[in-house]
Amino acid sequence: MADVLLSVRDLVVEFPTRRGTLTAINKVSFDIHAGEVLGVVGESGAGKSLTGAAIIGLLEPPGRIAGGEIRLKGERIDNLPPEGLRKIRGRRIGMVFQDPLTSLNPLYTIAQQLTETILTHMPVSKAEARQRAIALLDRVGIPAAARRIDDYPHHFSGGMRQRVVIALALAAEPELVIADEPTTALDVSVQAQIIDLIKEICSERGAAVMLITHDMGVIAETADRVAVLYAGRLAEIGPVHDVITRAEHPYTRGLMGSIPTLTQESDRLVQIPGAMPRLTSIPKGCAFNPRCGDAFGRCYTERPDPIDRPGGRQVACWLYKKEMSHV
């Protein structure tokens, strides 16, 4: 396997509130290898976006990293001063957010925003920066890029704006792109174009992608590996095809069964009873135990750590520990 580009170990993110500290991300560990697409899925409140925000140091206060390590090519980035983080953000890690309207400044032209990013991170002249910007826009599929570069964001449609945001994220040729729900605000026909674009460009430049989304269909077609988060914890991680077709964690299995597909024949969807717990009332032991059909004694008292499984997978579930002890 390729080199580990980003390594997250036992990440803990906390929100101190008046009624006590909420642990939004609780000991999450995963790696992203150079050039791969890692999908991060989960329901709302599972901690997907927070994981992304923690990596690039954009946690909204009072949220803070309370434990664990984040390393980019072996170098710790979770304890860098703001100035050091700023050098990494945009330069080595690019970002694409959900809503293209809020990630572009409405008062500046596309040219100003792109060249600013390029000049900040790369040793080029203004004229070169503009040339690069036009080339980037052209690459992300904006027609007549040389003319449209002087337009303002409101001149562009939603899909076109998201293309501009992708150009912006890639402007400094980062090693990792974190895309947080990049297609959620878009229509399906445009969504497909944007996903293809992200995938194409990143593989062309050897950049790794961390794709955060709630849409399993997008993950299925885009990601190499997928991490499933539940209540701020990692439930399962592994190659995307294995996780989708042969999910091991009871939560992942329920999740996959609950998604209607374009080919299924069954009349009923699998349903997981209940809903994800609130951060204030995460059950003791495994966070999924109240909704789990397979829960047994140990699940109510002790939290399972991710257990290594064949095929490069990890599952945080006691069912698999039991199995192994029999062997």
Partner 1 sequence: MSDALIRVENLWRRFDVSKPWLNRVIEREDRQFLTAVADVNFEIRKGETFALVGESGSGKSTIAKMVVGLIPASSGRILFDGTPMTGTVGADMRAIRRRFQMIFQDPFASLNPRWHVGDIIAEPIHTFGLASGADAANQVGKLLDTVGLSAKDAEKYPHEFSGGQRQRIAIARALSSRPEFIVCDEPTSALDVSVQAQILNLMRDLQDELGLTYLFISHDLSVVRHMANRIGVLYLGRLVEVSEGKSLFRQPQHPYTRMLLDAVPDLAMSGRRRKPVEGEIPNPINPPSGCAFHPRCPVAMDRCKVEAPKDRETPIGRAACFALEMQPA
What sections of the chain are H helices per DSSP? 48-55, 82-88, 100-103, 110-121, 126-139, 145-148, 158-170, 188-205, 216-222, 240-245, 250-257, 318-326
Note whether 216 binds partner 1 by CB under 8 A.
yes
- C-beta atoms surrounding 261 within 10 Å: 12
**If we measure between CA atoms, which residue out of 269, 216, 266, 265 comes closest to residue 245?**
216
Interface mask toward partner 1 for 16-45; x: CB under 8 A: ---------------------------xx-
Note whether 218 binds partner 1 by CB under 8 A.
yes
Cα dihedral: 29, 33, 39, 40 (round 10): 20
**If we measure between CA atoms, which residue out of 190, 203, 123 comes closest to residue 162?**
190
Identify the three-state secondary structure at position 103.
helix
Minimum CB distance to partner 1, residue 195 (Å): 7
Note whether 259 binds partner 1 by CB under 8 A.
yes
CB contact at 8 A, 145 and 122: no
Minimum CB distance to partner 1, residue 119 (Å): 31
**For the chain, how many residues are written?**
327
Minimum CB distance to partner 1, residue 162 (Å): 11
Decide the pairing of beta strands 37-41 and 208-212: parallel
Judged by CB under 8 A, the stretch of 62-70, 87-95, 122-130, 210-218 that binds partner 1 is 210-218
Q: Using the minimum distance from each CB to partner 1, give the nearer residue, 125 or 271.
A: 271
**Size of site (CB under 8 A) for partner 1:** 45
Judged by CB under 8 A, the stretch of 22-30, 64-72, 182-190, 302-310 that binds partner 1 is 182-190
CB contact at 8 A, 169 and 95: yes
Interface mask toward partner 1 for 138-177; x: CB under 8 A: -------------------xxxx-----------------
Note whether 244 binds partner 1 by CB under 8 A.
yes
Q: Interface residues with partner 1 (CB under 8 A)?
A: 43-44, 157-160, 187-193, 195-196, 214-218, 220-222, 241, 244, 254-264, 267-273, 275-276
